[in-house]
C-alpha cells in the first residue's frame, strides 16, 4: 500500500506506523533526532489554512498522542521534551507541498546550541539538496517503523 506525501509515495511496510481515517504518521528518510517523525493529513493539501476542521483536529490529536507515546518510549534514553513544528508556505522553509507536523524528541545536549536543531530541520527531511547525510536504508526505516507501530496497538490506529 502506498500513500501520497506531496510528490512522494510512502509505503506502509517501510514508513507508515500510525493511521486514522484522516491522518498518517511516518518515520523519516533523514531524521534530525532519534524518532523524529512526520504527521500529516491523508489529503494532500499544501497549506495549513486549507485543512477542514476535522482534519486540523485529527492531525493535532494524532500529533499529541504520537508525541506523548514516543517521549514515554524514549524516557529511559533521556528524552525529556518535544518540538512540534509546521513550516507553512515556501517563505517559511516548507519544502514538501503537503502540510506536515515535525515531531522531534529532545534529549539534553542533543544539539549545541539548543536551537541548532532548527537548522538541522531545514537542511534535512525530504530536501533535494541534502548532502550532509545520506538517505537511510529501507531496512533501517522498516525496523523503526515496526518499533513505533508497536506503540499503537489499538485497532483504530492500525495502518491498512
Per the residue annotation, which of 35, 36, 98, 100 is the catalytic one? 100
Q: Which residues contact 75 (CB under 8 A, 6 or more apart)?
A: none
Q: How far is it, in rounded angstroms, from Cα 119 to Cα 21?
A: 33
Q: Work out whether 94 is an interface residue with its own copies (CB under 8 A).
A: yes
How big is the chain, counted in residues? 160
**12-31: which residues touch its own copies (CB under 8 A)?**
none
Is there a catalytic annotation at residue 36? no
In whole angstroms, the minimum distance from the beta carbon of 77 to its own copies comes to 12
Scanning 19-27, 87-95, 135-143, 144-152 for contacts with its own copies by CB under 8 A, the matching segment is: 87-95
Which of the ranges 20-28, 54-62, 125-133, 144-152 carries the binding residues for its own copies, by CB under 8 A? 54-62
Q: Which is nearer to its own copies, 52 or 150 (CB)?
A: 52
86 lies in the binding site for its own copies (CB under 8 A): yes
Q: Give the dihedral sign, CA 74/146/120/66.
A: negative
Helix (H) or strand (E) holding 19: strand 16-19
DSSP string, 91-129: GGT--SSS--EEEEEE-TTSSSSTTHHHHHHHHSSS-TT
User: Contact between 143 and its own copies (CB under 8 A)?
Assistant: no
Q: Which is nearer to its own copies, 19 or 94 (CB)?
A: 94
**Residue 27: strand pairing partners:** 37
Establish if 80 lies at the interface with its own copies (CB under 8 A): yes
Report how far residue 78's alpha carbon sits from residue 108's, in angstroms, rounded to the nearest whole number. Answer: 7
Residues belonging to the active site: 100
Site residues, its own copies (CB under 8 A) = 48-49, 51, 53, 56-57, 59-61, 64, 67-68, 71, 79-94, 104, 106-108, 113-115, 117-119, 121-122
Amino acid at each position: 500500500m502506498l500513500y501520497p506525501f506531496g510528490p512522494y509515495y510512502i509505503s506502509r511496510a517501510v514508513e507508515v506506523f500510525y493511521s486514522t481515517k484522516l491522518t498518517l504518521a511516518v518515520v523519516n528518510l533523514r531524521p534530525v533526532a532519534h524518532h523524529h517523525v512526520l504527521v500529516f493529513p491523508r489529503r494532500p493539501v499544501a497549506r495549513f489554512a486549507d485543512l477542514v476542521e476535522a482534519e486540523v483536529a485529527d492531525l493535532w490529536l494524532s500529533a499529541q498522542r504520537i508525541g506523548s507515546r514516543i517521549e514515554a518510549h524514549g524516557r529511559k534514553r533521556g528524552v525529556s521534551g518535544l518540538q512540534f513544528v509546521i513550516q507553512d508556505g515556501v517563505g517559511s522553509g516548507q519544502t514538501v507541498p503537503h502540510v506536515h507536523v515535525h515531531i522531534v524528541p529532545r534529549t539534553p545536549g542533543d544539539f549545541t546550541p539548543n536551537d541548532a536543531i532548527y537548522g538541522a530541520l531545514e537542511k534535512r527531511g525530504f530536501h533535494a539538496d541534502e548532502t550532509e547525510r545520506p538517505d537511510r536504508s529501507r531496512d533501517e526505516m522498516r525496523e523503526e517503523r515496526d518499533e513505533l507501530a508497536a506503540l499503537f496497538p489499538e485497532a483504530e490506529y492500525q495502518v491498512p
